[in-house]
Amino acid sequence: MQYLDEILHRVQKPARYTGGEWNTIVKDWGHTEVRVALSSPDLYEVGAPSSDLALLYHLINQHPALVAERVYAPWLDLEAELRRTGTPLFSLETQRPLADFDLWYFALDAALTYTNVLTMLDLAGIPVQAAARERPLPLILAGGACAGNGEPLADFLDALLLGEGEAALLEVCAVVRACKQEWAARGGTPGRAARQELLRRLAALEGIYIPSLYRQVAADDTRVVRLEPLEAAAPRSVHCRCVTPLPPVATRPVVPFLATTPDRPSLDLGRERIRGCQRCHGEALPQPPRRRSHDEVIAGAEAIIRHTGATSLALAASGIGDYEDLPALLRRLRQRFRDQVAVLLPELPVTAVSEELLLSLGEGRKGAFSFAPVAGSPRLRQDLGQPITDADLLRAVEAVFRAGYEHIKLAFLVGLPGETLDDVQAIVDLTQQALTAGRRIAGPRAHLSVAVDSLLPRPHTPQQRFPLVTAEELAPRIELLKRGLRSKHIKVSHAGYQKLLLEAVLVRGDRRLGPAIARAWQLGARFDGLAGHLNWAAWQQAFQETGVDPAWYAYREYGPAEPLPWGHLHDGTAPGDLRPPSSVCAACGLAHRLDGTGQDAPVSPTAGGA
């Protein structure tokens, strides 16, 4: 590409943009019919390890008529150079301008990357506003964790993919391919009519939501809105996709040139997206358990290690605590790799930790072991339906330290409904007891990391109608934690409140946030999720200029009959049914049921079987 050599020597970490990594796939565009750009609107170091994008990359490039290439959000220095030289944003594999692609898919995993989407569209020379696009292609599509309420980005996206994207994205490619063939047969340049035709066809696919086919109308309160279809092609509600059976393991993940977070390949054992707790928002889809067999996991792990040269491999799964005979699988992996490859587990439910499991991990490198007690007091854990006691947690902590680990990570939530300072003090007491147990076993080497998050009432979770805790309510709780956990053996982390407030507004918002997002972007908001890069002043000015009251979105409680901005985007449950009866969260082990009024209520440990 013209100017590329001139540009890259002027930026930090040019390896973010060169491509050419091991296992990269480069195809001849002359032999493909649909070209797909796969994108994370975040830095290369953050987006490159995405196992979801890696799987899509693998699946699309397997098809002879399709090609997938990657692009990540450029850092501020490259953005400036692209604008200075008039160079369009380009893909990593072939350095082609993004406007040359037929489909551009964004994986929206964090609301604080929304302005990066606008930056990337603008740098590609594609109109930021969907309504301003004359040509039908490239189609701008987004999926991922934030797609469950994509309304704040409705002004900028052509389509949203809800749920698991593997099958749906291939179906989208098939529709685009068919439309391109028809347009070519007709001759001429396809315009707005062809664009509308394409969007109507896509609306017929399960799991595909087309924002432009709906309008936002006022409900009872002039500030409360709901969505209505504009035409018959638009279904009144759109349901999430579920992939059955699981796609094959992606055994040739791209090996990044730079250190990434995380810096290792992963292999998913399966998916069991039963609706869970607030921390398990990413798992909050009621879908059937689909698990890989031990033989499939072993074969996949062997291929990944052979094709990447990795010395560590992460096993990922929702519901990993319920995976059939996990210790036996770990023993087989250990025997196969003879401790030359470290096999790492995600955060485990307390009840899944056993001496057998710890022994099966072997004597290799000991990283940090993670637990999520969620709440410190038995009362709040009972309210959440979490079937563990303080004694259960301490037994698991002791077992981990006895197995040779010296570092345990604990994750808690504050700002829970009904929480008092006594409940917060219980976090301090439980953590101190865990440290005491660790020092008794591992001596001064034992230490803890305590991650404290504030409850964010996300769409499609049991807390979706609750208000966000205010800064004034939160301050004494955080101060109590910092004061009570002041120790060289305990590291406490907590995100700033401004970032929490902005995220609450964006995940709970509706289409009226579109102008504010655009204005914040124009004022310089970029990478708001990165430490030290939240441009709060830009967002404040944007809210003020566009008439958006962030407090109205963040601090109000939605009434039980009030329409939700995301109410037309269904995750497979009936309205108000936030999880199936007598279910256990596959990600964290919380047991729940629904009472007769549809409100979330806990199940006793004896009643809520796994």
Report d(CA 210, CA 200) in Å as an integer: 8
Residue-wise pLDDT tens digits, 410-457: 999 999 988 999 999 999 999 999 999 999 999 999 999 999 999 999
In this structure, the number of other CB atoms found within 10 A of the CB of residue 92 comes to 23
Residue 67: phi, psi to the nearest 5? -140, 140
Residue type, 234: A
| Cβ 315 vs Cβ 269: under 8 Å | yes
Mean pLDDT of the region 558-583: 64
Mean pLDDT, all residues of the chain? 88
Q: Alpha carbon 372 to chain centroid distance?
A: 18
Distances (CA, A) of 231 to 169, 210, 226, 406: 24, 12, 16, 60
| Between residues 3 and 438, the one the model is more confident about | 438
* pLDDT of the residue at 444: 94
Q: Quote the tokens at residue 347.
A: 């955060």
| Contact predicate 250/54, CB 8 Å | yes
pLDDT at 365: 60
Q: Is 287 a residue whose pLDDT tops 90?
A: no
> Has domain 246-365 been given CATH number 3.40.50.300?
no
Sheet holding 312-317, edge to edge: 290-291, 266-271, 312-317, 342-344
d(CA 462, CA 579): 8
- How far apart CA 207 and CA 202 sit, in angstroms, is 10
Q: How much of the chain exceeds pLDDT 90, in percent?
A: 70
| Contact present, 306 and 274 (Cβ < 8 Å) | no
121 pLDDT above the threshold of 80: yes
Residue 580 pLDDT > 50: no
In 3-state terms the chain splits into helix, strand, coil percentages (rounded to 5) of 40, 15, 45
- Give the pLDDT band (50/70/90) at residue 463: confident
Q: In this predicted structure, what is the pLDDT of residue 297?
A: 96
Is 581 a residue whose pLDDT tops 80? no
pLDDT confidence tier of residue 500, bands split at 50, 70 and 90: very high
Nearest C-alpha neighbor of 471 from the set 506, 500, 451: 500
pLDDT beyond 50 at 610: no
Tokens of 217: 């109308």
In order of 62, 141, 176, 209, the CA distances from 96 in angstroms are: 20, 19, 20, 28
Higher-confidence residue of 275 and 129: namely 129
E-strand stretches of 148-245: 159-161, 208-209, 214-218, 225-229, 238-239
Return the top range by mean pLDDT from 6-10, 296-300, 331-335.
296-300
Q: Cis omega (within 30 of 0) on the bond before 245?
A: yes
For the chain, what are the domain ranges? 4-162+165-239, 246-365
Q: Give residue 368's pLDDT band: very low, low, confident or very high (50, 70, 90).
A: confident
pTM over 0.85: yes
- Which tens digit of pLDDT belongs to each residue from 534-558? 999 999 999 999 999 999 999 999 8
- Confidence (pLDDT) at 3: 64
| pLDDT at 301 (0 to 100) | 97
Give the model's pLDDT for residue 2: 56
pLDDT in tens, 58-79: 999 999 999 999 999 999 999 9
Q: Which of 211-220, 365-374, 577-586 has the lowest mean pLDDT?
A: 577-586
